[in-house]
Amino acid sequence: MSFGCNDKVFIHQTLCRVRRLSAVLLSLVLSPLLFTAGCKKYLTVPPPVDQVVGNGAFASDSSAAAVLNGIYTQLLLDNLFQGNMGIGYDAGLYTDELQSLVLPSDQNFYADALNANAYLQLWPDLYQEIYASNLAIEGLTSSSLTMRDQLLGEAYFLRAFLYFYLTNLFGPIPIAIQSDVETTNRLARSPQADVYQQIIADLKQAQSLLDNFYHDQDGALTDNRGRPNRMAATALLSRVYLYTQDWANADAQAGLVIGAASSYELVPPALTFLTGSKETIWGMESVLAGVTLLRDAQVYYTFPGTHKAVCLDSALFSVFEPGDARWTNWVGVSHVAATATQPATDYYFAYKYKDTALSPSPAGTISLLRLAEVYLIRAEARAQQGDLAGAASDLNGIRARASLGGTTAATQSELLAAIAHERQVELFLEEGHRFFDLRRTGQLDAVMTRMAPVKGSSWSAYKQWWPIPIADIQADANLTQTPGY
């Protein structure tokens, strides 16, 4: 992702917040020109000061591509999908993947004690990028640019992707599919079924516009998978169908991705998260202007003899099977010797991403959609439809990659339980999968009621959804708070 001087005229609509990054890093990565608009929340963001400049953003392929570049860049900088306070981190604390050791700021999530005044920047950040996606869709729909279909398909995909996370964190949410703030400022929550309907519609649009190749910001073919293609839209659509219990369509869409055998393959765990991995269907680049922004590596990696602010919870690391290659490659351990006041302790940490500030290894791709998940989607969809042999075959493909033997599950219920276990150890700390899986399969209350005493907290069913920041409730008379908060 790079920007020319002429590409920056409209980026102020998308690059408005750069939280969680030091001023030093910002000075290395971005020029001041990218930050001329100030910080505003999506549902209250004003229209462009100069509409002529706004329209001009879609006058050429390069300037239109810069609008999409701005969204990708801001997703990277906001750390929404990586690092400290990203969705994977927050959801890992909230459920049974991470144990909080140091930071008071983590306690609201770890103790399942969120409230409307707590730091929930995810809500405005996600809506800000939806606003940018809406602007791109509006600007590109009637254009005749050479790259129009590619860029418009990306915009539809991004809007669907962002809405997927909003509705899985907050439940029923406002559906804003236009940039007119007079409308968006009065939106109420829509039922989750309607949100999913919009997501599915957007992904079908993306499928119809995108092709099966990967393109760079100039439209040229590339091996870099940092921008979504048709298979990325198809993979996400299979996930959405799984979540809505449309088993047949989840099976069919997953099969389209798996069938693209020459483009994607399961690779050894040691290679899964590296740049260029053929398991990646879509993943954000982790390097911007020569600076590595691979936050998961830096947040989780632990020096020998020390511990970080979080470590893996025993509820996670204790369920790996002996001989699992994912344990060897994706989990690290730091042994802290005994002191006069503390016994010797082993701290286990996530080690999927290995390019820390102290490591010269190749930078990884922030994996957002990968083939292993698609196999597990199809396995679950097949099991739900009674195709037990097909489900076992897909499940065993994942297990074989992890150097494990075939499943012993034989009945439908046994297979579904085995698939749930495989998702737990395969997708841990990846963008809230565990949290979402527990809720959609009806296991969340049981697991969290068991975990709450360990965390020194209590659990109530309403906590399955997160509260909306109070400032957003106050700004929109039609927006109601999540029940229970």
If you write DSSP's letter for every residue of 257-280 in order, what string do you get? HHT-TTT-----GGGTTBTT-TTE
Q: What is the pLDDT of residue 202?
A: 98
The DSSP letter of residue 309 is S
- 451: CB partners within 8 A, 6+ apart: 95, 96, 315, 459
Among 295, 283, 217, residue whose Cα is nearest residue 19: 295
Distance set, CA 304 to CA 214, 326, 333, 336, 427 (Å): 40, 20, 8, 7, 25
What pLDDT was estimated at residue 104?
A: 82
Please name the residues in contact with 431: beta carbons below 8 A apart, sequence gap of 6 or more. 81, 87, 88, 91, 165, 368
Compute how many other C-beta atoms are within 10 angstroms of the C-beta atom of residue 481: 14
pLDDT at residue number 55: 58
Beta bridge partners of 335: 346
Which two structure tokens, joined as six digits, stand for 198?
A: 């919009």
Joined tokens for residue 97: 């993947």
pLDDT at 86: 94
pTM of the model: 0.89
Token representation of residue 173: 């949410």
324 contacts: CB under 8 Å, gap ≥ 6: 402, 403, 404, 425
Cβ–Cβ < 8 Å for 449, 95: no
DSSP state of 422: H
CB-based contact 284:315 (threshold 8 Å): no
Angle between helices 230-243 and 148-170 (to 10 degrees): 20
Query: For the chain (length 485 residues), average pLDDT per consecutive 10?
Result: 31 34 29 31 34 65 92 91 93 97 88 87 94 96 95 98 98 95 91 98 98 94 94 98 98 97 92 93 82 85 93 97 98 94 94 75 83 98 98 98 98 98 98 98 98 95 96 93 96
What pLDDT sits at residue 30? 32
**Burial zone of 376 (CB within 10 Å; 0-12 exposed, 13-18 middle, 19+ buried):** buried
Please, where are the H alpha helices in 171-191?
Answer: 181-184
Token pair of 308, please? 């970080």
Euclidean distance between the first and final Cα of the chain, in Å? 40
* Count of residues making up the chain: 485
Q: Are 175 and 195 in contact (CB under 8 A)?
A: yes
211 with 229: CB under 8 angstroms? yes
Largest interatomic CA distance in the chain: 72
Residue 321's Cβ-count burial label (10 Å; 0-12, 13-18, 19+) is middle
Closest CA to 89 of 313, 403, 246: 313
Question: What six digits make up the tokens of 318?
Answer: 């204790």
Q: What is the pLDDT of residue 357?
A: 63
| The pLDDT of residue 120 | 83
Smallest CA-to-CA distance from 275 within 355, 220, 376, 215 is with: 355
